[in-house]
Structure 1
Amino acid sequence: MTSERSLHLLVADDDPIQLRAAARLLKLLGHTGALANNGRTALNLLERQSFDAVMLDLRMPELDGLETLSRMRNGRHQQPVALISGDDLGSDWNFYRQAGADAYLVKPLELSDLRSLLQRWQ
């Protein structure tokens, strides 16, 4: 028997295929998720629901992931945040970490990477 708890995550990405993939992976791992197609919608959901963690695509319309993260951190939202990008953020990770990100995942999302990240947050 495991002591890991199920997490409720907010996932924001403007690509509907990526959103569906993230939702499917979360379900496979025993977690739940709410989906947003841009940063503005993500911030609205954060005001109405409680989330254990947030995953933000860096490149979204209306509010990109970095601006959404900034508004979260300047508000009352301090849950862990993973940035999602099609690019490896390795060389820029310090910048994003200082902006308030806790982790990053490279698209397409891999089950093993997501599992490792969420185990750290349980």
Structure 2
Amino acid sequence: MAAYHGRGAIEMAQQYQPDLILLDIMMPEMDGMEVLKRLRNNPKTRETPIIAVTGMDRNREYFLSAGFDDWLGKPIELEKLEEVIRRHI
């Protein structure tokens, strides 16, 4: 399932409580950093692994220190995506 903006991502995460969230950083209405903060502050989603998906020129430590569990750079390589998902589920 997919949400196309930050508010929708928060609503879907609360409703469906997924095993893992792939969260884009650049989204309309609310960016991924704000969505991350709101999900981490919600008891229903606080422990859900959240993976940053971005084309931003940042390193892994930047996203880990922000509260993400991991990150994937764009374009996403299928092998890397599978590795990250296995590591967190």
TM-score by length of structure 2 reads 0.88
Whether 1:35 aligns to 2:2 is: yes
| Gapped regions of structure 1 (runs ≥ 5) | 1-33
| Gapped regions of structure 2 (runs ≥ 5) | none
Equivalent pair of 1:89/1:104 in contact (CA under 8 Å): no
Q: Note the C-alpha offset of 1:94.
A: 3.1
Matched residue pairs, number?
Answer: 87
Aligned Cα root-mean-square deviation (Å): 1.3
The percentage of aligned residue pairs carrying the same residue is 34
Q: Note the C-alpha offset of 1:97.
A: 1.5
Within 2, Cα distance between the matches of 1:64 and 1:106? 16
Secondary structure in structure 1 of the residue aligned to 2:22: strand
Q: Note the C-alpha offset of 1:108.
A: 1.5
Residue type at the aligned position of 1:53: L
Q: Note the C-alpha offset of 1:99.
A: 2.2
Match of 1:113 among 80, 84, 87: 80
| Bigger Rg, structure 1 or 2 | 1
